[in-house]
Chain A
Amino acid sequence: MMAQTRRKERLDRGIRVRTDGLYALMSWRELSYLTLPRVVLIFGVLALPFVMPSMYWQRVISIVCIYSFLAISFDLLAHFVGLVSLGGAFFVGVGSYLAAILNTSLGLPVALTIPISTVLGATICTALLLPCLPLRGVYFAIVTLMYPLALARVIEALNILGGTDGIMGVASFPSRWVEQYFMIGALLLFLFAIRRLVNLDLGLVLRAVKDNDQAVRASGMNVTFYKAIAVFIASAMGCLAGASLVHIYMWAGISQFALDFSILPIAATVIGGAGTLTGPLLGCFILVPISELLRAFGTLRIVFYSLILVGFIVFRSEGIMVYAQRKYHQFERWVKV
C-alpha cells in the first residue's frame, strides 16, 4: 500500500499543545492565525461606510451601530452578570431625552452633549433600577420591561418634556462621515473594552455574581453594589446609543421608549451568539439590514424577525459567532508526513 505522503494537521495544533489555554506564540503564522478574525472584524466594520452604495444605506449603518450598542449591553448583563434586562428602550429613552434637553435648552454642542448624557443617563438609569437589583430572573426581566412604558406614560400624562410632541430642532452631527465614524469608533472601543473587562478581576467578580451570588456574599462583597456597576456600564452604552440617535434624527420624543429598542437587540444576541460580545454585533449587522430590505413588505417584517428569533431560541442553536469560533479552531491543512 503506497505510504501516505500527506496527512491532515490541525492549524492550531502548535499553539494548543503547548499550554492549556495560555497561548504561546512561536511564529508569524500562529500570530496571524489568532489575530485574523479580529483584524477582519475591525477593518470590515471600518470599511463599511465606503462600501455602502447610497447615503440611505450609510444611515442604516448608524442605526445598526445603535442596535449593536444595545445588543452588547444586553449580552453583558444577561450572559456575564445574570441580570436579564428587557429594558433596552429605557436606556435609549433616558439618553435621548438628556441629549435633547442639553442641546436645546443649554445649547451645548454635539461633542459635549453625547458624553455628558451618556454618563448622566447611566447614573440616572442605575439609580432608578437600584431598588429592583435584588430581584432575580423573571422578575427583573418583567420590571425592566415595564420601566420604559411607565416612563413614557408619565411623560405623556404630565405633559412634560414636550409631552407627546417631544423635543424638536436638536442639532445634528456636523457631517455624515463624522456621524458614521463616531458611531463605529465608539462601538469598536466599547466592544474591545468590554471584552477586556470581562477577563479582569472585576469581570471575574461579575461572572461570579451570576454563577453563585450567595458565595460572593459569603466572601464579604456587597452583591447589589457589583450588580449596580454592571448596570451602570450597560446603561452607559444604552444612553450613548440614545444620545446619538437623537442627534441623527434631530428629535426626541416618547417613542424613543418604543419596544423595538428592547426586542431587536435580544433577537440579535440570540442569533449572533450570546456570551461572545461580537456575536450580538454580528447579529445586528445581519438583522437590521435584512429588516431594511424587507421594509417594503410592511408589518411582515416584524413577523419575519420574530419567527427567526423563535426559531433560534427553540432550536437552541448557539448562534453564529459561537459556531464560527468552534469551526475556526478546527481548520486543517495538508502537511507532509
Chain B
Amino acid sequence: MEIFIYGFINSISLALIALGFALVYGISRIPNFAHGALYVVCGFITWSFVRSLELNYPLSIILAMISTGIIGGLIYLFILIRVRGMAISEIIASYAIGLAILEGLRWRGFKGMTYTLPTFKEGSLMLAGTPVDYHRLIVVGVGVCIVAFLWIFTHHTKVGLGLRAMAQDERAALMLGIDSDRMAVVAMGFGSMLAGLAAVLLLPLGNIVVEAGYNVLLLAIAVCIVGGLGSWVGAVMAAFLIGFAQILTVVYIGPHFQMVVALLAIILTLILRPSGLFGRQKELEERV
C-alpha cells in the first residue's frame, strides 16, 4: 500500500518537474536546458520574498512564479530567438544560460543548506496505514489540477489551440496568422512558470540548493524523452512510469540504484524507440 501512495506522490512530483520542459519543447521545438536553473531561481526568489521582504507566503509564491515566467520569456526573446531552428546551438545556448544562472546564484551567496521554505500546512495524517504529511497531499492535489487545467487550456481556449497548432506544424500555423515568435515567448514563459510552480511545491520538502538544478534538468529530460519529446500527455504518463519504477527499485533492488533508473530509462528509450511512448517524431520515422 505504501508503495502505491508514495509511488503516486513521486510520480506527480516528476510530472510537475517535467511538464514545463515538455510544454516548451512541444510548442516551440526548443529543448529548454535552462529548465533546472529556472526551477532553482524561482526557489531563491520565493525565499527572498518570504524571508527578507517578509511578504505573506501565497503572495510571494505568485510573484515568484510570475518573475520566473518573465525571466523565461526574456531568455527566449534575447537569446533563443536568434538560434531558433539550429537544434544543437539551442541546446548549448540554453544549457550555458542555465549554467550561468546557477553559478551566478552560487557566486551571489546563495550557498549552504539554510535556505528553506515553510511548508503549506504542518502535520500529517494516516492514509490507509501509512503516514502522509499534508504538504505532500497538497502537492498531489495541485499536480492533478495542473494536468486537468492543461487539458482544458490546450483543448478549449484560443491561445491553447494556437499553441497546439504551432506544435504540430509551425509553418502552417504561421500561414494562418499565428505569430510563432509571440507564441514561443508565451510557451517559454508558461513553461518557466510551471518550473517555478514545481519549485514552489517541492522545495519546502527540503532545502533550496543549487545542485537541485542539475538533478531537476536530468529528471525532466528523462521523463520527456520516455514520454516522447513534444507530447505533454506522454510526459505525464512517463512520469508515472519512472516514478513507480524508482520506488520499486528502492524497495526491491536497493536505494542506491535510484538515480541509475532515470538515466538508463533515457538511454534505453532512445535506442529502442526514439520517439518515446506518444511522440511521433517526423524526422525519425521513415521519410525519404
Contacts and interface: CB of A to CB of B under 8 A. Distances in A.
B83 A314 contact: yes
A161 interface: no
Given A135-B270, A316-B82, A142 B225 contact: yes
Interface in B17-68: 31
9 contacts: A135-B270, A139-B270, A139-B284, A147-B267, A263-B96, A300-B103, A307-B96, A309-B92, A310-B93
Given A298-B107, A299-B103, A142 B260 contact: no
Interface of B: 31, 78-79, 82-83, 87-89, 91-93, 95-97, 99-100, 103-104, 106-107, 218, 221, 225, 229, 256-257, 259-260, 263-264, 266-267, 270-271, 274, 283-284, 288
A229 interface: no
B178 to A, nearest CB: 23
Contact of A306 (B91, B103, B221, B288): B103
Contacts of B99: 263, 302-303, 306
A314 B82 contact: yes
Interface string A278-305: 0000000000000000000111101100
Given A141-B88, A156-B256, A309-B93, 12 more contacts: A136-B284, A139-B270, A141-B87, A142-B221, A142-B266, A214-B288, A306-B103, A307-B96, A309-B92, A309-B96, A313-B96, A314-B78
A150 B222 CA distance: 12
A137 B267 contact: no
A142 B270 contact: yes
Interface string A302-329: 1100110110011110000000000000
A146 B88 contact: no
B221 to A, nearest CB: 6
A102 interface: no
A266 interface: yes
A309 B96 CA distance: 7
Contacts of A263: 95-96, 99
B163 to A, nearest CB: 20
A298 B103 CA distance: 9
Given A132-B271, A136-B284, A137-B87, A306 B263 contact: no
A84 B92 CA distance: 11
A312 to B, nearest CB: 10
A270 B91 CA distance: 13
A310 B78 CA distance: 11
Contacts of A214: 288
Contacts of B78: 314
A143 B31 contact: no
A81 interface: no
Contact of B97 (A137, A154, A310): A310
A266 B104 CA distance: 21
Contacts of A139: 270, 274, 284
Given A150-B264, A314-B82, A157 B257 contact: yes
A131 B273 CA distance: 11
Contacts of A142: 31, 91, 221, 225, 266, 270
Nearest to A130: B271
A138 B91 contact: yes
A86 interface: yes
A92 B100 CA distance: 24
Nearest to B224: A142
A59 interface: no
A78 interface: yes
| Shortest Cβ-Cβ A-B pairs, 5 listed | A150-B263, A306-B96, A302-B103, A306-B100, A131-B271
A157 B250 CA distance: 12
B263 A138 contact: no
Contacts of B264: 150
A298 B210 CA distance: 15
Nearest to A140: B270
B260 A310 contact: no
A149 interface: yes
B256 A157 contact: yes
Interface string A197-239: 0000000000000000010000000000000000000000000
A132 B266 CA distance: 11
Contacts of A16: none
Contact of B87 (A135, A138, A150): A138
B270 A303 contact: no
Contacts of A297: 107
Contacts of B288: 214
A153 interface: yes
Nearest to B256: A157
A147 to B, nearest CB: 7
B283 A137 contact: yes
Contacts of A78: 88
Contacts of A267: 96
A153 B263 contact: yes
